[in-house]
């Protein structure tokens, strides 16, 4: 039973790693900023899942705490970067295009 559990956890970890590569490709090639932010957020969520899987696999409880802290930092990072980019784009739009125009660009 232990071997089956370990095999399932290892298999799911490899699947998540492959999906992280797909999300990384989307983050690099994404045509818009929002695509990139969402891809980075998805990667961070998968890292949290990988940490929890690793915690169960290795029977190390502290990794769950690490995953929780990482999830919190990931969320805060996405919020801060999004706010900074929105502010930057609004200033750019007001400076170059007048009121409200140009906010939907790349």
Quick check: is 101 in a domain?
no
- Residue 8: domain span: 2-96
Q: What is the pLDDT of residue 95?
A: 86
* For range 6-31, the mean pLDDT: 96
If pLDDT is split at 50, 70 and 90, which confidence band does 100 have? low
User: Alpha helices, DSSP H only, in the chain?
Assistant: 2-29, 33-58, 62-96
Please check the confidence at residue 106 and state whether its pLDDT lies above 60.
Answer: no
Q: How many residues does the chain have?
A: 106
45 pLDDT band, cuts 50/70/90, is very high
Residue 74 lies in a domain: yes
d(Cα 61, Cα 33) in Å, to the nearest integer? 36
Token pair in block for residue 29? 């090639």
User: pLDDT tens across 66-96, in order?
Assistant: 999 999 999 999 999 989 989 998 998 888 7
pLDDT at 102: 53
In a domain, 48, yes or no: yes
The answer to the question of residue 104 being in a domain is: no
Count of domains for the chain? 1
Q: Which of 47, 35, 105 is nearest to 75 (CA)?
A: 47
Distance CA 58, CA 87 (A): 44
What does the pLDDT average to over 57-67? 95
CA distance 40 to 80: 13
In a domain, 46, yes or no: yes
In a domain, 51, yes or no: yes
Q: How far, in Å, CA of 97 to CA of 88, rounded?
A: 14
Establish if 105 belongs to a structural domain.
no
Q: Quick check: is 106 in a domain?
A: no
């Amino acid at each position: 039973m232990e071997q089956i559990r370990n095999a399932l956890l290892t298999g799911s970890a490899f699947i998540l790693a492959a999906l992280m590569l797909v999300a990384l490709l989307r983050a690099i090639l994404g045509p818009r900023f929002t695509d990139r932010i969402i891809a980075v957020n998805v990667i961070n969520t998968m890292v949290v899942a990988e940490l929890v899987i690793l915690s169960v696999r290795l029977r190390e409880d502290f990794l769950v705490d690490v995953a929780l802290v990482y999830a919190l930092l990931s969320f805060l990072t996405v919020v801060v970067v999004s706010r900074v980019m929105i502010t930057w784009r609004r200033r750019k739009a007001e400076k170059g295009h007048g009121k409200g125009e140009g906010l939907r660009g790349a």
